[in-house]
Structures are given as C-alpha cells and as structure tokens.
Structure 1
C-alpha cells in the first residue's frame, strides 16, 4: 500500500486529525505514503480545521493548521489504496459512491466502533477523547497495512 485517505463528514475535525497523525507517523518511520483527508459533505469547503482540532493536534506535536477541507471524489477511490471512514454514516455514503478498499477506522482499535463527532461529545474533553481514539487506530493501521513485515 502506498496511499491512504481518511473521510469524515465535513473534513474539519476528525479526518484532519487522522491525516495529521498519519503524516507524523509516516515521517517518523521514513515511509513514502500519500496521505490525505476529505469529507462526504461540502459545506466546509476550503475551511481550516476547527479550532479545537487544531489545538488538540498541536498539544500532541501535530500541525494541521494549514489543512483545508475538501469533498471526497470518485477519483479518490482510484488514487488511494485505502479509504478509511470515521463512522458508519460516512462508511455507508462512501460505499454508495463506489469506494473500494473501504474500512472503518474503529476496526483498528475499537471493535469497529464509530469515532464520534467531537462537536457532540462533551466539549473540548470530547476532542481529547477523539484524538486518543484516532491516534490508537491510525497507529494500528500503520502497523498492519504499511510497515514491512520482515
């Protein structure tokens, strides 16, 4: 595998966190992997990640401040080896759009559970919890899908 895209609803909180964590892991492990994120919705196009996502990422030495929201396209399903949905709703939407190699992030650490939208999950504490979930799952994806098995 050489590429991965993380997809949530608006591409301003969960998927940018996943992208940022993945980029950090790839850099630390000197892996040449194309990493991106997108949303299934289009109402945040061109916007930066939300303030709380930027803050929680920064607290963990991940900089997502320059990322900009975009909508997932069918071309992404050709360009990325692995499409990672952050919850059931995104998974179902991506399936309907024809995504191949589609998985849910929660399958890599939370028994398939959804990564909840932090906007509806206990204020800034929710962003901290979501970051922890995403971090564990993205690290597990890299262990399973991208690291050499010598």
Structure 2
C-alpha cells in the first residue's frame, strides 16, 4: 500500500484538504492508500483544519474530526513513499529538511498534472479562495492516483 504525505506551510488549509479528498477519491476507486498531511512549520500545531477547508470537506462528505495540524518529522521521510508539497517553497523546505538520500521522495503537487507541472496550489489562508484550492487539488487526484498505481 503506497504511503502518501501531503504538505503545506501550516497544515490547516491545503494539505488536510488534499488528504481528505485523496482518501475519498482513492477509496471510491477501490484503491487503498495510507494518506496523511503535515506542515513545514509548527505554527498551527494541534489546530483543526481552517474553517474554509472544513466547509469544503463537509460539503464533500469527508470526516475531518480527527485531523490536527502537525509539523513534518524526520521519521516521515522514512515512513512515506511520496511527500508532496503544495508549492515550490514547501518543496524547497522539504528537500532542505530531508535526511540524506530521501530528497527524491519530494514532489510538487501540480507536477503530476499535464501542462501544469510548474503551477503551485495557492494558499487560501492568504487569498480566501478555498474553492480555487479545491479545484486545483481535484485536478491532481487522478494523475497522482495513476502514478501511485504505476510506481508502487
């Protein structure tokens, strides 16, 4: 079973949204993944997802009651097969923090979406555009699921 970790800055907006949506998307297609999320910072540690993310997850029928922000740990690099950052700064921070030899597990989320490999999933904490973030994450679900199946 592939193990996937989605990462953003605070782990309250983008990465928990990606976690919940990917769990549901893969399960609906009969493919089980171990999915979690984390942040590159500890600023929001212990907090629930942002109300904007909660609204989207609730709308999609996804339980977020046990989701709590946490910072990425060194152990995560050994536990997870895929560590997927939501933007280029997340990816740079993840590579910088990675134990030696683990850097190749780090990917940019939109990197799996044909024609949009350089795009970033914008942070709705700043913009308030949670629907835009949702649409971008939805675009990446099938390409990532295909990749997990092919490379695991």
Pairs aligned (count): 145
5+ residue gaps, structure 1: none
* Counterpart for residue 37 of structure 1: 37
- Name the counterpart of 2:134: 131
2:121 maps to 1:115: yes
Q: Secondary structure at the match of 1:100?
A: helix
Partner in structure 2 of residue 85 of structure 1: 85
Report deviation, 1:147.
Answer: 6.1
Structure 1 position 31, deviation (Å): 2.2
What is the root-mean-square deviation in Å for CA atoms of aligned residues? 1.7
Q: Which runs of no fewer than 5 residues in structure 2 stay unpaired? A: none
**Which digits, 9 at most, give the CA deviation of each residue in 1:10-42, with x for residues without a partner?**
000000000001110222123232110000000
Aligned partner of residue 10 in structure 1, secondary structure: coil
Which residue of the partner structure matches residue 57 of structure 2?
57
Larger mean CA deviation between 92-101 and 56-65 belongs to: 56-65
For the residues of structure 2 that align with 1:71 and 1:97, how far apart are their CA atoms?
12
Instruction: Give the equivalent residue in structure 2 for 1:2.
Output: 2
TM-score by length of 1: 0.89
CA contact (8 A) 2:22 2:141 kept: yes
Residue 104 of structure 2 corresponds to which residue in structure 1? 100
